[in-house]
Every structure is written in structure tokens, then in C-alpha cells.
Amino acid sequence: MPQLISPHGSDDLKPLYVEDAEARGRLAEDAARLPALTISSAAAGNAVMLGGGYFTPLGGFMNKADAVSVAGTMRMHNGLFWPVPVLNMVEDRGVAAAGERIALRDPNVAGGPIIAVMDVEAIEELDDAEWTAIVEGIFGTADQNHPGVAEFAALGRIILSGPIEVLNFSYFRSDFPGTFRTAVEIRREIAERGWRRVVAFQTRNPMHRAHEELCRLAMERLDADGLVIHMLLGKLKPGDIPAHVREAAIRKMVELYFPANSVIVSGYGFDMLYAGPREALLHAVFRQNMGASHLIVGRDHAGVGDYYGAFDAQTVFDEIAADALDIEIFRADHTAYSKKLHKVVMMREASGHAQEDFVLLSGTRVREMLANGEAPPEEFSRPEVAQILMDHYRSP
């Protein structure tokens, strides 16, 4: 098998999921007798990512010192590059005691099954200054109109830190059996296909023709062996398209418009942060862990509203140390269909074009068209993809 890019900060992936069925069964029996805590959706997503090896080489939830350090310097106390704190935060200090072993219950599955077992090493509270520093470090703002800040503010200010062992992958394995994959599984499939140069494309939206062509351009220019379309399957903000609809639209696009065996369509179990530049760096970390050599970073990657500049998520990679990450990024401009060239292009590369020479539609306008049963222009969206989206918008 080909030699793939090394995982972040480690020679091997470090998934925290208990793979051995017998050991997992014993742990589940033990967990049923432990004090239990229902964690937040954000913490459950962190547990899923830790379990799947995406957050290699972390062994569990960070303590306050590491959280403050990561938010401020993007380094843990041991020197490891890490862009966003990985936390289990609660409102009540009395839910556990330091030195205690507890069961973590999943808030996203009926009945709150145990998702992981945690050895609580420390219970620490953030003061106002520490909380603000962490929030501003992650999101670049403390404005609670920012959906990521609002979500973070609801978590509480008590940090429970310590190693975990993961028992399951929440609802992602059952709800998305053909799509959800761990970093271990994706890395294995990349190796089995014989790919070495692999492009990853992050998406929380359906893919229109501009996204499709951007992936094709990146593959051609990087001489890549394959593409991994990696979609977020966790919680989004109100109004975003549900994961199962995005999945159907993306699979139809790949089936009809990409060469056979050139694309892996997969997804990961994590809630969107909308943290712009910091989230782009986090995306790079876990794409390196899953075996991708390159990540496409486009305009307003992982952004929301007007909180970040159009290309802040690209320039942040120029601000980190050269040894921070091994994965490289492919910098993409806004892509659009050129009426002059009769194809999708990166707008910065299209000389001699005025604004009216491009087919440009806002997300709001596209949603209005779909809701009215009106297909966007074929230059904007493949008709088969548009049909899936129209069916969704017309459904009760």
C-alpha cells in the first residue's frame, strides 16, 4: 500500500473508540453502574471525533490551561499545534468530582445512551476574562448574534477534563450508514485504492456546478489520485439544508459527472462551529488525520454573516508555523459560470470579464427559486441536483 501523509502529531492514528467488541461490552456493563452525566451536543460531537481518530493525537477533553493556550496561541502546553479547544463544558460544578470515573450520556439520541466513559482529571471554572479570551480566540468575536458564540455561551463555564473511551458514534452510524466514516475507515479506503495525493472538499451545503468544477480544477492542478467529498453531518443553523438531502444531491452529482472510482463521498459527525479561519485550520487537522494531502479552502470557508473577510480562512494558513501541519491547502477563489467562456471558472482568473459576464445567484435567491418549484439555471446547478433540492423544498 502507498505511504500516506502522517497523522497530525503522531506516527499512527489514535482513535479512542473501543474497537474490540468484547472489551467494549465489558466497558458498557461497567459504565451502566457509573455516575452519569448528559453532555452537550458539542461535547458529544467532540467524543465522536475523538472516537474516530479525527482528533489524533488527543486522548480526551482538554483542561483549562490547554483551552486558554489553544485559544490564544494555537498550541497546547506540550507544544502541539491545535486551533480550537476540545472541551466538555457544563453549567454545574457538582456534576462530577476530580478523580471520578463517569459515564457520558448522549443528548442527541432518545433515551440518552452512554456514548463514552470519562476519567475526570480536573473540574475548573472559567472566569469572565478567560471565557472572553477563549471565545474571541475561537470566533474572533464575543458577539452573541454569532451562532457559534451563542452556542458556546449556552454550554456553561465549568470545564471537565480528562481521557475518554468511546462506546459508539451517536446517531451518525445509524442515520447515515452509507456515508458516516471514521478517519480510520477513510484512511484505510484511500490506501486500498492506491491513492497518495488526495484532495479533500469540506461541505455543509449541497454542491452546485461551481463546487463541482472547483473540485475538478483542484484535482487536475494538483495531479491528485482522488477526491474525498467530506460532508458535515451534525447540527447546523436554522435554514441550512438537512444532511440527508445534501447527501442525496452530492451522490447524484458524483454518479453522473465524475469518473468512476475517482471520488469517495463520506461524512463526519460534528456540529458546525461557524468559526471561519480557526475552523478551517481544524478542518485541515482532521483531513490530515483521515489521509488527505490537500484541503480545498475557498471563499468564506466555514464563515457566517460578515464576521470574517472573504479570504481570512486562507491567509490564516500563512500565519501559522511551517511545521504546524503537513497537509497543504488549495486556495480557491469564488467560482462562477462564464457566459463568455461557456464554462465554470475561478473569477480571479477570468480576464476581460465584467460582473454581468458571470451567472451569479445568491443563496437567498436560489432558495426562493427552489421553494417555488423553479429550477436554477443549468449553468448554476445540474438539473438532477436541482430536482432533489426542489423536492425537498416542496415537501411539507
Q: Where are the domains of the chain?
A: 21-173, 177-394
Position 362 pLDDT exceeds 70: no
Which CATH number among 3.20.20.140, 3.65.10.10, 3.40.50.10860, 3.10.400.10 corresponds to the domain 21-173? 3.10.400.10
C-alpha cell at 137: 480566540
75 is catalytic: no
Q: Round to whole Å and give the CA distance between 194 and 190.
A: 6
State residue 363's pLDDT score.
65
CB atoms within 10 A of CB 287: 30
Cα–Cα nearest to 114, from 18, 17, 28, 24: 28
Sign of the four-CA dihedral 383, 257, 250, 202: negative
Q: Round to whole Å and give the CA distance between 226 and 199.
A: 6
Q: pLDDT confidence of 2, banded at 50, 70, 90?
A: low
State residue 240's pLDDT score.
76
Average pLDDT for residues 78-85, to the nearest whole number? 98
Cα–Cα nearest to 36, from 114, 108, 120: 114
Q: Round to whole Å and give the CA distance between 136 and 151.
A: 14
Mean pLDDT, rounded, of the chain = 94
Roughly how many angstroms between the first and final C-alpha of the chain, as a whole number? 49
157 is catalytic: no
177-394: CATH class? alpha beta
Please identify which residue in the block is written with the cell numbers 457544563: 90
Q: pLDDT confidence of 337, banded at 50, 70, 90?
A: confident
State residue 149's pLDDT score.
98
Q: pLDDT confidence of 7, banded at 50, 70, 90?
A: very high
State residue 334's pLDDT score.
82
Q: Round to whole Å and give the CA distance between 304 and 237.
A: 10
Q: Round to whole Å and give the CA distance between 20 and 95.
A: 30
Q: Which residue in 93, 205, 299, 331 is the catalytic one?
A: 205
Position 297 pLDDT exceeds 70: yes
Q: Which residue in 197, 204, 299, 367 is the catalytic one?
A: 204
Specify which residues 43 forms β-bridges with.
Answer: none
